[in-house]
Amino acid sequence: MDIRSLACFIAVAEELHFRRAAERVFLSQPAFSARVRALEDEVGVALLERDRRHVALTSAGLAFLEPARAAVRHAAEARSAAQRAARGDTGRLRLGFSVVAFHGALPQMLNEFRGRHPGVALELVEMNSPSQELALAAGEIDLAVLHPPLDTPGLSTQALPGEPLVLALPSAHPLARRRTVKLRDLHGVPLLVAPRSVGPHVYDRLIGAFLQAGVTPHIVQEATPMTTLIGLVAAGAGVGFVAGSVAAAGRAGVAFRPVSPAAPELPVALAWREGRLPPAGQLLLALAKASKAGKRLASS
């Protein structure tokens, strides 16, 4: 029992005239009449009484009319729902993000995305970069804002502006009086760092910058996320590097300063499983590429 035949029956039931009903559904009258007859054969009863001058619903046809209307309506709703989902206007999008990303322009971009696609349910999960890679590979999230280079095969990426790193130090520290802190002046200063496992690329570049400046870093504690590291700085446990967007939020008792030579930049990217980004994720990816919020995702 196809929807097109049901639509033909509804048209003739409402018009009570075969020619007008056929024109309404854009069929020739012979093709239209054949569909109605085939529908009656399938149902097993006469739905219409007709002769050359008269068309009327039988009692069976009257009983059939409302369920037929409901079936056509539901079919249209189903088609529309499928088309919206295929466009990415409905459904679910699971997004992983790092602490750094959520201190930038990501919230603004997600607000813009929600405004454009209110039918998409956004599920947001905060986790560090290596955990996001594993979650993508396992299909637990659809899209991630993380920090390359990546170690997990089968992931595609879209680079975003990198995040500058600045030095967080207690406001009372003598070096806080300087506009720019030289790396060589951190000789012997207790240093707080994120574990290498969280970001080996940046960790190695940061240690390399110290060594190039002739300083062996005095690492006293590992801390993650960056907000925790800042709390330890406020408590006087040492100094450490944090993303500029995290520093922009400020913290009582903590000063943030650039260093010379400049600290390595924290790379940022969107990542997803190759060939497995759902339509809603494709829309968010396009927004990140095109919008001002996306261009400032890591630099705000």
> Quick check: 216 pLDDT over 50?
yes
Between 20 and 298, name the one with better pLDDT: 20
- Cα(159)–Cα(146) distance, integer angstroms: 10
pTM of the model: 0.71
**Mean local confidence (pLDDT), 155-168:** 92
- Cα(296)–Cα(290) distance, integer angstroms: 11
Both tokens of residue 34?
Answer: 């054949």
CATH homologous superfamily for the domain 91-162+267-295: Periplasmic binding protein-like II (3.40.190.10)
> Quick check: 271 pLDDT over 90?
yes
CATH number (3.40.50.970, 3.30.1600.10, 3.40.190.10, 2.60.40.10) of 165-264 reads: 3.40.190.10
**Mean local confidence (pLDDT), 126-145:** 95
Q: Are strands 120-126 and 55-57 parallel, antiparallel or unpaired?
A: unpaired
149: preceding bond cis by omega (within 30 degrees): yes
> Quick check: 167 pLDDT over 50?
yes
Between 265 and 104, name the one with better pLDDT: 265
Domains 91-162+267-295 and 165-264 share a fold: yes
Band (pLDDT 50/70/90 cuts) for residue 299 is very low
pLDDT at 291: 62
Domain 3-87 - what CATH class?
Answer: mainly alpha
pLDDT at 300: 38
What ranges do the domains of the chain cover? 3-87, 91-162+267-295, 165-264
Both tokens of residue 183?
Answer: 């790396």
**Mean local confidence (pLDDT), 186-210:** 94
